[in-house]
Structure 1
Amino acid sequence: MLAGPALAHVGVQPVGEAAKGGYATVNFKVPNERDDASTVKLEVNFPTEHPLASVSPQAVPGWKIAVTKSKLDKPIEMHGKQITEAVSKVTWTATGDAKVAPGYFQQFPLSIGQLPEDADQLVFKTLQTYDNKEVVRWIDAPTEGAEPESPAPVLTLTAATEDGHGAAAGAKDDDAKGGAEHASDQSDGEHGATENAASSDSSDGTARGLGIAGIVVGAAGVAFGVLAGRRRTPSTGTPATPAS
């Protein structure tokens, strides 16, 4: 009974891994916890202690997206450039008939980076607004040994990859995918060869059967012709001359 409500909290999960020092695609999963109201707005606040300069949202049909940037107290360096501002908030607002209705959930994807190398997790304080004007504040940071009443979405960071940009993990995924495709092609080839062999055996069997049947029919025809000829010989001969 206690685990049920926890599953309905707004959460964030990476697509694959979110490696330190790299980039990641993440999904903010927003379930509807109300039976008589729909979610029409989501505000995700980014951690100021670990600013992210690169944030790109993916379009969500029926939702307007606003990316807010703020000046940094201390510039950060990214790809050899000094970054003086970073994304501080991303807001999704439903338009028209779009909304997260009771009993449904919606995912809001983002591409984010560069992830910090000196942190194990990122906390995104989030506000969820319903069409009855209720605002649920998912802003409580996680605490060891107990779950907060309104926990903020937390993105867990994994160890840095070889090049710091997730390329090693991507290469492994591509290799695995290529191996699976090769195995599938090989299996398809073997299956096709088996089918062709079976088809060839079937065709040979049919041809042999037809050949044997033809020989039998031919032999029967020859026998019938010989018998018929013998039966016609007496009737076609010259009549005998009567004795004087």
Structure 2
Amino acid sequence: MVIPTYNESDNIEWIIGRLRRAQPEVDVMVVDDNSPDGTGKIVEALAQTDPHVQVVHRTEKAGLGAAYRHGFRVALDQGYDVIGEMDADGSHQPEQLQRLIDAIAQGADLVIGSRWIPGGSIVNWPKSREALSRGGNLYVRLLLGIRVKDATAGFRLFRRQTLEAIDIETVTSTGYVFQTDMAYRTLRQGLTVSEVPIEFVERERGDSKMSKDVATESLKLITRWGLAERRAQVQRLLGRRAA
């Protein structure tokens, strides 16, 4: 499991401990963006006594997508066949990871832990944030023409072949829109995306990295992709009529 971090010293040892207890055979890779609060040092200490834990140090804070791409590349180079992602703040519960593992074992190319399918839920969110997330995902479905209910979710498992088909080196999105980008690219490759219900719990410690600017930038990119997809559909339709 790839876990990106920036200033998560209050959470990182706690969440790694939960993940290691819930899934003792799962390896943990923390990708730290040079956290000034010492998050990377904490993981280094854990890695000295646990061979299932490693830390990848980055030199700057360059966005969620950049951290995940880096971690995915390292994991691919190390030979992993299934590579996952989750947050460090406890919003993704390691005790529910087995749901994603079962779905990937049944043949899905990408599995998403979803808040917005039957059985999924959220804890400690105000109604305004729920409305924003649901509305954002509806916007994604309408504009991109995909059926994924929670394309913005960040609790996921990818098959190695999925990341290779996407070619992560060509992915340029760096913020939270990275999650939507990866789901969209998976579907465009003709691969299967499965959603399983999870309970998403709002962080109790530390500061959220989501901001109004990040959300605005995500909407701009999704709009751009959606318009490009609509143009492509029109061109395909005109091409068929001309033939």
TM-score where L is the length of structure 1 = 0.26
Greater share of helix: 2
Where is the strand percentage greater, Structure 1 or Structure 2?
1
Given the two structures, how large is their TM-score scaled by the length of structure 2?
0.26
Q: Which protein has the larger Cα radius of gyration, Structure 1 or Structure 2? A: 1
